[in-house]
Homo-oligomer: A and B are copies of this chain.
Amino acid sequence: MSTINDVSRLAGVSKATVSRVLSGSRGVKEASRLAVLKAVDELNYRPNVIAQSLLSQSTGCIGVICAQDNINQTTAYLYALEKHLSQSQKHLLLRFANSKAEVMSALDELTCGLCDDVLVIGARFPLHIDDENVILVDCVESATTTPNSIQFDHAFAAETACNYLISQGRRQIALIHPNSAAADQVLLGYKLALENNFLPFNRNLVFMDDTSSSVALQVLLNNATTLNFNALLVADEQEAQRVIPQLQAFNKTVPGDIMVFSLAGSLHLPGIPTIPAIEYSMDAMAAKIVAWLNEKTQSVLGSYRVRGDLIIPDVRKR
Query: Contacts A51-B54, A54-B54 given: A95-B82 contact, CB under 8 Å?
Result: yes
Chain B CB within 8 A of A114 CB: yes
Q: Could you tell me if A78 and B54 are in contact, using CB atoms closer than 8 angstroms?
A: no
Among A42-50, A136-144, A169-177, A188-196, the stretch in contact with B: A42-50
Chain B CB within 8 A of A10 CB: no
Chain B CB within 8 A of A252 CB: no
Q: Could you tell me if B50 and A54 are in contact, using CB atoms closer than 8 angstroms?
A: yes
Q: Could you tell me if B93 and A93 are in contact, using CB atoms closer than 8 angstroms?
A: yes
Q: Which residues of B contact A46 (CB under 8 A)?
A: 108, 112
Chain B CB within 8 A of A1 CB: yes
Interface string of A253-282 (1 = CB under 8 A from B): 000000000000000000000000000000
Q: Which residues of B contact A109 (CB under 8 A)?
A: 91
Q: Which residues of B contact A61 (CB under 8 A)?
A: 93
Q: Which residues of B contact A114 (CB under 8 A)?
A: 49-50, 59, 91
CA distance A95 to B62 in the complex (A): 12
Name the one of B82, B95, B112 contacting A48, with C-beta atoms under 8 angstroms: B112
Q: Could you tell me if B96 and A79 are in contact, using CB atoms closer than 8 angstroms?
A: yes
Chain B CB within 8 A of A113 CB: yes
Chain B CB within 8 A of A25 CB: no
Chain B CB within 8 A of A13 CB: no
Most buried by B among A93, A94, A95, A109: A94
Q: Which A residues are within 8 Å of any B CB, using their own CB?
A: 1, 46-51, 53-54, 59, 61, 64, 71-72, 74-75, 78-79, 82-83, 86, 91-96, 106, 108-110, 112-114
A-B complex: 5 closest residue pairs judged by Cβ atoms? A48-B113, A50-B113, A75-B75, A94-B94, A92-B94
